[in-house]
Amino acid sequence: MEGSPGIGGRSGSDGSRAPPKIPPAMEELQSRLQETLDLLSSQELRSFRDHLKKVEPRVSQVKLELEGRSPSGLARLLAKQYYPPAAAKRVLVQVLEQLPRADLLPRWQSAAADGPVIPRKIPKRSYDCVEGELDRYDLSGRRKAFLMCVKRNRLGAHQDVLLMEDWLGQCQFENTLCIDPDKMELLGEITSFRDGLNEIKDDIGCCLVALMSHGEEGFIKMKDGEKVSLEGIFEMFNNKNCPALQEKPKIFIIQACRGERRDSGVETDDEPMDSDDGSEKRRLPTFSDYFIIYPTQADHVALRDPRTGSVMIKAMTDVFKQYGNKWHIADFFTKVNNRVVHREFNLRNEPVKVSLVMESTLTKFVYF
């Protein structure tokens, strides 16, 4: 007997049952959902599904397992479960806030209650385009930070400390604070910090050292003007002196001048080596897995606002508040640099420009 049109669809010419027709608005919603889900890493997609189980009305565990394993399948499931678009909008905002993926929220928060808006295209992050899991550092161990700041004669330095402590807390670091030390106090405290890492070698995931003071190329200055070699501090944490950090990321944030030069900017017109892999014992370079960020170029001044603190530290915390921990640390500081480079500053009524400088011997990606 021939079939007749009905809710279940129409029969094809060969007698098979055609799939039900999807309303255009639901089809558009599904497309938008998939566009958002495609921007999530595999780990974020798993977290998305976990958070979704707690949102009312809940998607059944069985449906999530059967239909929601891939971005396309999950988008299709959500479009059916939470149609019309206003309901989907509410659910997406709730779940994205939990990940956190604040960068994806505007496309849903700005949607009208009676239908979606055309979203701005957001490019995929580079690691989303790589098959399989990322080769990234395992940061499941303890994250230890050493934060030194000379406040004396540095208006705004107190704000730097507050901003850094807040940022480190959000990145799950245990923080050791060192304020206004002289040379011997700094060397003593940072040596004690390093030795503490070596005592809990197997429990360490990452180390971060932030040094904020006056400085010059290759040196940071203490409260009494005494100079401490940055190279000497970096060396304290190398693979020989700090075996606890072998093949683990060592992040150095240096907020200090590197000289007296000022860059006033310019007006624009808008325009294989041989290797021996046969050795029985694996070796590491003495210096590896370092990431060092400077607030300015060599021999140049760094900038600090008496009210809001240092330009780099303020930009760091602003970017983190907006985007969370979605980026590898080098990409994160590239975004910070973009903000710093495109801001206008004046020093003694003359224009001055700064650009951050990154040095890296990292061998994997760092995601806090």
Q: What is the DSSP string of 104-157?
A: GSHHHHTSBTTB---PPP-PPPGGGGSSSS--B----SEEEEEEEE--TT-TTH
Looking at mean pLDDT, say which of 17-31, 73-87, 124-138, 300-314 comes out highest: 300-314
Per-residue pLDDT, 239: 93
Per-residue pLDDT, 142: 93
Residue 177 has pLDDT above 90, yes or no: yes
What is the mean predicted confidence (pLDDT) over 153-160? 92
Query: d(Cα 36, Cα 247) in Å, to the nearest integer?
Result: 34
274 vs 96, higher pLDDT: 96
pLDDT band at 266 (very low <50, low <70, confident <90, very high): low
Per-residue pLDDT, 27: 79
pTM passes above 0.85:
no
pLDDT band at 290 (very low <50, low <70, confident <90, very high): very high
Please give the helix or strand (H or E) that residue 231 lies within, else none: helix 230-236
Poorest-confidence range of 81-95, 144-158, 227-241, 295-309? 81-95
Per-residue pLDDT, 9: 44
Per-residue pLDDT tens over the stretch 204-258: 999 999 999 999 999 999 999 999 999 999 999 999 999 999 999 999 999 999 8
What is the mean predicted confidence (pLDDT) over 72-78? 80
Residue 46 has pLDDT above 50, yes or no: yes
Per-residue pLDDT, 362: 92
Per-residue pLDDT, 20: 56
Poorest-confidence range of 164-168, 225-229, 281-285, 341-345? 281-285
Residue 182 has pLDDT above 80, yes or no: yes
Per-residue pLDDT, 28: 81
Residue 174 has pLDDT above 70, yes or no: yes
Active site residues: 214, 257
Q: What percentage of the chain carries pLDDT values higher than 70? A: 80
Q: Chain-wide mean pLDDT for the chain?
A: 80
Task: Kindly give the residue spans of alpha helices, DSSP state H, lying in 241-354.
Answer: 311-323, 329-341
Taken in order 101, 102, 107, 108, the sign of the CA dihedral is positive
Q: What percentage of the chain carries pLDDT values higher than 90? A: 39
Strands (DSSP E) along the chain, which ranges? 142-149, 173-179, 204-212, 215-216, 219-221, 227-229, 250-255, 290-294, 304-305, 309-310, 345-347, 350-352, 357-360
Domains of the chain, each with CATH number or no CATH: 24-108 (1.10.533.10), 142-262+285-361 (3.40.50.1460)
What is the mean predicted confidence (pLDDT) over 298-304? 88
Q: Which pairing describes strands 227-229 and 204-212: parallel, antiparallel, or unpaired?
A: unpaired
Collapse the DSSP code of 52 into the 3-class scheme (helix H, G, I; strand E, B; otherwise coil) and give the result. helix
pLDDT band at 128 (very low <50, low <70, confident <90, very high): very low
pLDDT band at 278 (very low <50, low <70, confident <90, very high): low
109 vs 29, higher pLDDT: 29
pLDDT band at 8 (very low <50, low <70, confident <90, very high): very low
Query: d(Cα 324, Cα 368) in Å, to the nearest integer?
Result: 9
Q: How many CB atoms lie within 10 A of CB 341?
A: 13
Residue 122 has pLDDT above 50, yes or no: no
